Amino acid sequence: FTPGVEPQPTWCPGCGDFAVLKALKGAMPEVGRTPEETLLVTGIGCSGKLSSYFESYGYHAIHGRSLPVARAAKLTNPGLEVIAAGGDGDGYGIGGNHFMHTARENHDMTYIVFNNEIFGLTKGQTSPTSPKGHKSKTQPSGSAKDPVRPLTLSLASGASYIARTAATNPRQAQEIVKEAIEHDGFAHIDFLTQCPTWNKDAKEYVPYTDIQQDDEFDFDVTDRREAADMMYEAENRLYEGEVLTGRFYRDEDRLTYGEEKRKTGEMPADPLAERYFDEDAEWARTADELLGRHT
Ligand code: SF4
């Protein structure tokens, strides 16, 4: 991103990715964080372009690796607002291991997964969230297996905030993105983003039901068991073509990974990133010596 130059996204017309950018742009002023206080890390895919279009620090990581980069940034500079983003293949497939363990360790960040049920950038291959029977170039007779269940996987792994929203619901999307950014801990959003170019079935994302606005879904978002039942129901209905969106789980009491480590003394209270600018710090001297600056 170049300050003062409005980037022009190259996503296809009608792509759901525009809705994620819009939700982020709408949410950040409400959260009160400036571009200089924010880092957006993306993986590979159409979703990866987000870090080039959003006004903040950006880092375009390799496939499936946005979360390790985001974790390192947050641990060394806890004052930074860290947001990671990527597609369903990037996050639930290639980077699935990082997803599980970043959730388990409750790293303080927001993770937005653009879920369009295919690999978009590479022209529509079957992805971890493609429905059973979905036909693509890689599985022309139809996907043989049931897809990943992102919400229940996230809960089982240990995420402390879990929500699903859809590109077709910009008002709810902005509210959920804001809430996730304000959450202290690992906040995961499964963001349904249609790909009209390679997945015409994406029309199933319209219409949706907001579970917070419908009396049929009366459950406690802070209760793991009730949240698990609600997520399982939502995932089943998605595979049948009905979309349930909203907040599914929130735990505001668990310490984040950084808080735990600072509490036990394993990590210093002052940010490592600031030590880099302290010429007297032992850590900085070591780095300089490694880089040969004092030879
Ligand atoms: Fe969006 Fe699909 Fe086009 Fe990628 S290929 S920009 S996901 S519509």
Q: Rounded to whole angstroms, how far apart are CA atoms 199 and 16?
A: 12
Of all protein residues, whose CA lies closest to atom 2 belonging to ligand 1? 195
Ligand 1 pocket: which of 115, 121, 203 to mutate (most atoms within 8 A of CB): 121
- DSSP secondary-structure letter at 162? E
SS3 247: strand
Which residue in 192, 164, 186 sits closest to 67, CA to CA? 186
- What is the whole-number distance in angstroms between the Cα of residue 121 and the centre of ligand 1? 6
Query: What separation in Å is there between the alpha carbon of 124 and the centre of ligand 1?
Result: 9
The ipTM estimated for the assembled molecules is 0.99
Residues with CB under 6 A from ligand 1: 11-12, 15, 17, 46, 116, 120-121, 195-198
Residue 268 burial class via C-beta count within 10 angstroms: exposed 0-12, middle 13-18, buried 19 and up? exposed
**3-state DSSP of 103-124:** HHCCCCEEEEEEECCEECCCCC
CB 138 within 8 A of CB 217: no
Minimal-distance CA residue to ligand 1 atom 3: 12
Residue found by looking up tokens 């002052």 in the block: 270
Q: Report which ligand 1 atom has the smallest distance to the Cα of 17.
A: 1
Per-residue pLDDT 10s for the chain (295 aa) are 566 777 899 999 999 999 999 999 999 999 999 999 999 999 999 999 999 999 999 999 999 999 999 999 999 999 999 999 999 999 999 999 999 999 999 999 999 999 999 999 999 999 999 999 999 999 999 999 999 999 999 999 999 999 999 999 999 999 999 999 999 999 999 999 999 999 987 666 677 999 999 999 999 999 999 999 999 999 999 988 899 999 999 999 999 999 999 999 888 888 878 776 676 666 655 666 656 655 4
Between the CA of 193 and the centroid of ligand 1 the distance, in Å, is 9
Nearest residue to 71 (alpha-carbon basis) of 33, 97, 34: 97
CATH number, span 17-264: 3.40.50.970
Give residue limits of the domains in the chain: 17-264, 266-295
Give distance in angstroms: CA of 120 to centre of ligand 1. Answer: 5
Amino acid letter at 199? N
Q: What is the 3-state secondary structure (H, E, C) of 15-53?
A: CCHHHHHHHHHHHHHHHCCCHHHEEEEECCCHHHHHHHH
